[in-house]
Amino acid sequence: MGVVNVTPDSFSDGGAFRDAEAAVAHGRALAAEGAAILDVGGESTRPGAAPVPEDEERRRVVPVVEGLRAAGAGEVSVDTSKAAVAAAALAAGATIVNDVTALRGDPAMAEVVAGSGARLCLMHMRGEPRTMQGAHVAMERANANPVPADAPASAHADVILELSAAAQALAGSP
Q: pTM of the predicted model, to two decimals?
A: 0.76
How open is the CA angle 102-108-109, to the nearest 5 degrees? 35
CATH of the domain at 76: 3.20.20.20
List CB contacts of 172: < 8 A, sequence separation 6 or more: 110
Residue-number span of the structural domain to which 30 is assigned? 2-171
Write a three-state SS string for the chain: CEEEECCCCCCCCCCCCCCHHHHHHHHHHHHHCCCCEEEEECCCCCCCCCCCCHHHHHHHHHHHHHHHHHCCCCEEEEECCCHHHHHHHHHHCCCEEEECCCCCCCCCHHHHHHHHCCEEEECCCCCCCCCCCHHHHHHHHCCCCCCCCCHHHHHHHHHHHHHHHHHHHHHCCC
Burial class (CB in 10 A: 0-12, 13-18, 19+), 72: exposed
What pLDDT band is residue 173 in, cutting at 50, 70 and 90? Answer: very low
Express each pLDDT in 107-140 by its tens digit. Answer: 999 999 999 999 999 876 655 655 555 544 554 5
With pLDDT > 90 as the criterion, what percentage of the chain qualifies?
53
Residue 155 pLDDT more than 60? no
- How many domains does the chain divide into? 1
According to the model, what pLDDT value does residue 123 have?
77
